[in-house]
Chain A
Amino acid sequence: MNDRALLTAMRLSDSMLPVGTYTASYGIEQYLNEDEIETAAGLGDLIEGYLRGVIGPAETVALGHAHRSAAAGDLDGVFAADERLGAATLPAEFRDSSRKAGSKLLELLADTDDGAAASRSSDPADAADRTSSAGDAAGLGDVAVEGVLAEYAAACEAGRTDGHYPVALGVVCQRAGLDAREAALVNAYASVTGLLAAAQRLGRFGHTAIQSQLSGLFPAMETVCDRYHDADLTAMCSFAPLADAMGMRHERADRRLFMS
Chain B
Amino acid sequence: MTGHRDVATVGLGGPVGSGKTALVQHLVPRLDDAGYDVGVIANDIMTQEDADRLRESFSDRLPPDLVAGVETGACPHTGIREDPSMNLAKIDEFTERHPELDVVLIESGGDNLAATFNPELADYFMFVISVAEGDDIPRKRGPGVTQADLLVVNKTDLAPHVDADLDVIREDAATVRGEDPTAFTDCKADEGIDAVADAIERSVLFA
Whether the Cβ atoms of A257 and B82 lie closer than 8 Å is: no
A16-B82, A18-B85, A104-B89 in contact; A259/B47 too (CB < 8 A)?
no
- Set of chain B residues within 8 Å of A259, measured between Cβ atoms: 70-71, 73, 86
Whether the Cβ atoms of A18 and B46 lie closer than 8 Å is: no
Whether the Cβ atoms of A23 and B47 lie closer than 8 Å is: no
Q: Bound state CA distance, A29 and B110, in angstroms? A: 20
Whether the Cβ atoms of A256 and B47 lie closer than 8 Å is: yes
Q: Bound state CA distance, A258 and B75, in angstroms? A: 10
Residue of A nearest to B76 (CB): A257
- Set of chain A residues within 8 Å of B86, measured between Cβ atoms: 20, 23, 100, 259
- Main secondary structure on B side of the interface with A: loop
Q: Bound state CA distance, A26 and B143, in angstroms? A: 33
Residue total for A at the interface (Cβ-Cβ under 8 A) = 24
Q: Bound state CA distance, A40 and B73, in angstroms? A: 19
Q: 8 Å CB contacts to B: which residues of A212-260?
A: 252-259
Residue total for B at the interface (Cβ-Cβ under 8 A) = 19
Whether the Cβ atoms of B74 and A19 lie closer than 8 Å is: no
A100-B89, A198-B73, A259-B71 in contact; A22/B78 too (CB < 8 A)?
yes
A256 touches which of B48, B75, B78, B84 (Cβ 8 Å): B48
Expressed in whole angstroms, the minimum distance between the Cβ of A69 and any Cβ of chain B is 26
Residue of A nearest to B87 (CB): A20
Expressed in whole angstroms, the minimum distance between the Cβ of B73 and any Cβ of chain A is 4
Q: 8 Å CB contacts to B: which residues of A1-56?
A: 16, 18-20, 22-25
Expressed in whole angstroms, the minimum distance between the Cβ of A152 and any Cβ of chain B is 17
- Set of chain A residues within 8 Å of B1, measured between Cβ atoms: 157
A255-B46, A256-B46 in contact; A25/B85 too (CB < 8 A)?
no
Whether the Cβ atoms of B84 and A18 lie closer than 8 Å is: yes
- Set of chain A residues within 8 Å of B84, measured between Cβ atoms: 18
A202 in contact (CB, < 8 A): yes
Whether the Cβ atoms of B73 and A18 lie closer than 8 Å is: no
Q: Bound state CA distance, A257 and B48, in angstroms? A: 11
A24 touches which of B47, B70, B73, B89 (Cβ 8 Å): B73
Q: Bound state CA distance, A25 and B83, in angstroms? A: 16
Residue of B nearest to A23 (CB): B73
The total number of A-B Cβ pairs within 8 Å is 59
- Set of chain B residues within 8 Å of A204, measured between Cβ atoms: none
Q: Bound state CA distance, A100 and B86, in angstroms? A: 8
A258 touches which of B74, B78, B83, B89 (Cβ 8 Å): B74
Q: Bound state CA distance, A157 and B96, in angstroms? A: 12
A201 in contact (CB, < 8 A): yes
- Set of chain A residues within 8 Å of B82, measured between Cβ atoms: 16, 18
- Set of chain A residues within 8 Å of B70, measured between Cβ atoms: 23, 259
B138 in contact (CB, < 8 A): no
- Set of chain B residues within 8 Å of A22, measured between Cβ atoms: 72-73, 75, 78, 83
- Set of chain B residues within 8 Å of A256, measured between Cβ atoms: 46-48, 71
Expressed in whole angstroms, the minimum distance between the Cβ of B70 and any Cβ of chain A is 8
Whether the Cβ atoms of B89 and A257 lie closer than 8 Å is: no
Q: Bound state CA distance, A18 and B79, in angstroms? A: 10
Q: Bound state CA distance, A202 and B44, in angstroms? A: 14
Whether the Cβ atoms of B47 and A257 lie closer than 8 Å is: no
Whether the Cβ atoms of A104 and B85 lie closer than 8 Å is: yes
Q: Bound state CA distance, A24 and B70, in angstroms? A: 12
Candidate in B46, B70, B71, B82 with the most chain A CB atoms within 10 angstroms: B71
- Set of chain A residues within 8 Å of B89, measured between Cβ atoms: 20, 100, 103-104
- Set of chain B residues within 8 Å of A254, measured between Cβ atoms: 47
Residue of B nearest to A97 (CB): B86
Q: Could you list 9 examples of A-B contacts with CB < 8 Å?
A: A18-B85, A23-B73, A23-B79, A100-B85, A100-B86, A201-B74, A253-B47, A254-B47, A258-B74
Residues of B participating in the A interface, judged by any CB pair closer than 8 Å: 1, 44, 46-48, 70-75, 78-79, 82-86, 89
